[in-house]
């Protein structure tokens, strides 16, 4: 009987915390890329962990926690979608670089939930190569790859206050490469094919972002 009252008290506590979490510091921290979304994810994870901890006490506690987790997920999906829709049309402030020209400001618009509370956003805007961008590759790599079918991911990279990289997400790709003097070259003026971006599980890292840049992901070349 004492165990039942303990589990019930935990559920009441979770509900109380949930209704007040909109004013918590984490959910109001804005990320330069995803706005309020990472903070809301962090709140969700904290509440989820509390409920899961209470469930470890007994099998009946687990059954009650399972229903509570479903309710929690639905409530936070609504919060995340609402925050995600606020990003629609809001330009992302990106530090200008030598390799890319932002023809039309980049922004995100909420698309869907891929799994659970994991959200996916459309990437809007227009980016093109500002000059011929050369990528160093080995001769063996060139022999084993058909440049006609090559695509290289375009990344949006976040840096903290100290200039250290803290986030890195794919937002599209470039195609149309050529080979010049043994190097793979992205011709000037080539437009990026912008796609979608899904926020990853490192929610707190997004809140640390102070500057944003674009980069090619050449790690597999």
Q: What is the DSSP string of 41-101?
A: HHHHHHHHHHHHHHHTT-HHHHHHHHHHHHHHHHHHHHHHHHHHHTTTT--------SSEE
Task: Give the pLDDT score at 21.
Answer: 32
pLDDT for the residue numbered 158: 96
* Residue range 162-215, pLDDT digits in tens: 999 999 999 999 999 999 999 999 999 999 999 999 987 788 899 999 999 999
Residues of the chain with pLDDT under 50: 1-28
Identify the pLDDT of residue 67: 86
Residue 178: what pLDDT?
Answer: 97
What gap in Å lies between CA 214 and CA 194, rounded to an integer? 12
């Amino acid at each position: 009987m004492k165990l039942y009252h303990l589990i019930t008290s935990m559920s009441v506590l979770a509900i109380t915390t949930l209704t007040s979490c909109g004013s918590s510091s984490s959910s109001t921290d804005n990320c330069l890329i995803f706005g309020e979304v990472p903070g809301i994810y962090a709140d969700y994870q904290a509440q989820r962990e509390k409920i899961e901890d209470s469930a470890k006490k007994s099998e009946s506690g687990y059954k009650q926690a399972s229903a509570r987790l479903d309710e929690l997920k639905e409530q936070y999906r609504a919060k995340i979608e609402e925050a995600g829709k606020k990003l629609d049309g809001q330009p992302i402030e990106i530090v200008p670089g030598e390799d890319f020209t932002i023809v039309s400001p980049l922004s995100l618009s909420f698309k869907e939930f891929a799994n659970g509370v994991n959200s996916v956003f459309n990437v809007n805007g227009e980016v093109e190569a500002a000059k011929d961008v050369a990528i160093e590759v080995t001769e063996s790599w060139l022999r084993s790859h058909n440049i006609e079918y090559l695509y290289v991911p375009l990344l949006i990279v976040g840096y903290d206050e100290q200039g250290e990289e803290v986030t890195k997400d794919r937002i599209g790709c470039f195609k149309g490469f050529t080979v010049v003097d043994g190097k793979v070259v992205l011709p000037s003026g080539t437009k990026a094919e912008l796609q979608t971006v899904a926020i990853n599980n490192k929610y707190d890292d997004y809140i640390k972002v102070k500057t944003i840049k674009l980069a090619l992901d050449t790690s597999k070349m």
